[in-house]
Amino acid sequence: MGGCLSSCPDDDSRSLHSSNHPRSMLSRQHHDDKEAPIRTIEGRLYHDEHDSRYMLPRDEQESDRLHEQHFVTKELLGCNVLPEAFQHLNFQRGGLTILDVCCGPATWLCETSLEYNNSQFTGVDMSDVWPKDIRPVNLQFRRANVLHGIPFPDQSFDFIQMRFVVLAFTADEWRKVFNELRRVLKPGGCLQCIDLDMRVSLQDASVPRHHIDSFEQFYSMQGLDISAGAKLDMRLSDLGFQIQQSEYREIPLGWGGPIGTASLNLFMGKIIGLAPWFKRALDLSDDSFRHVQEETRQHLIQSRAYMGLHAFLAIKPLE
């Protein structure tokens, strides 16, 4: 794989590998696309796309983390769809075509497609971790690496979402991805982008941050911009999108109530998922890495640390 993945630890063993909603809203379907290539590293499953920098796992443990991230985000923003979108698109009437890019386990899609069941929803991801047997009848999936293009014609969708891809794309790849989103979005259509500024701020400067700095330096070494969430509006504007709504939330890590507790768990789950690469880059044994994990957790709580969440709703101008 490109970047860190090509030089990181690898097992020789590689493998391919009910809802409570009314039954009438669900269908049993089988996904016909070729299965995503997978490899096993230290007992966890990772994608094996050779030109992707994305290093997080694609197993049930990671899907559970992403499910939790969805509900934390919904709580922080108070919605699945930013309110300004309803000024431009009639979700209640339906007939909309809606795309979620890099959809992961499709928590947002399953929830939103049931809420707006008169519109057609599609999820795209390079890892086929979405529900394969039972799903809403108005929801379909396509396996595709967005860096190779979104497999739909120009101007196919009224609404597109992309979120939490800060660790997926290098600085050079972001523009390519947004160009592709622009291509498949209809004129007058809405683009919703939600992502993190993963730069960790400590409110107590006396608490050590050397472990946090090491993690951030690691991301930078892979060509990843962990402040990408804070730059979404600039990237969108540069491509001619018109920003209609912007939201910012500070995410407490380990303090401030249930959201802080859940957000710290999400943060540490990400660290654990990236452990094979962190250990190699930092030259750490398993025991040493567990010690770093625990110290990091304690430092985040003690310093009342936080990260930023940025959400933007933009429209593609009428042509």
Region 15-37: mean pLDDT is: 43
Question: What pLDDT score does 116 carry?
Answer: 97
9-18, 89-98, 284-293: segment of lowest average pLDDT:
9-18
User: How many whole angstroms separate alpha carbon 204 and alpha carbon 155?
Assistant: 49
DSSP of 201-218, one letter per residue? E-S-TTS--HHHHHHHHH
Give the pairing type, strands 26-28 and 134-136.
antiparallel
Region 147-170: mean pLDDT is: 97
- Taking only the tens place, the pLDDT of each residue in 260-287 is 999 999 999 999 999 999 999 989 999 9
Strands (E), the chain: 26-28, 38-41, 44-47, 97-101, 120-125, 134-136, 139-143, 157-163, 185-201, 242-252, 306-315
CATH architecture designation of domain 3-315: 3-Layer(aba) Sandwich (3.40)
Cβ atoms < 10 Å from Cβ of 15? 11
Q: Which long-range contacts (CB under 8 A, 24 or more apart) does 198-201 make?
A: 198/166, 198/167, 198/226, 198/227, 198/229, 198/307, 199/226, 199/227, 199/307, 199/308, 200/253, 200/300, 200/305, 200/306, 200/307, 201/305, 201/306, 201/307
Chain centroid to CA 261 = 20
Q: pLDDT confidence of 33, banded at 50, 70, 90?
A: low
Question: What pLDDT score does 134 carry?
Answer: 85
- The one-character DSSP state at 170 is B
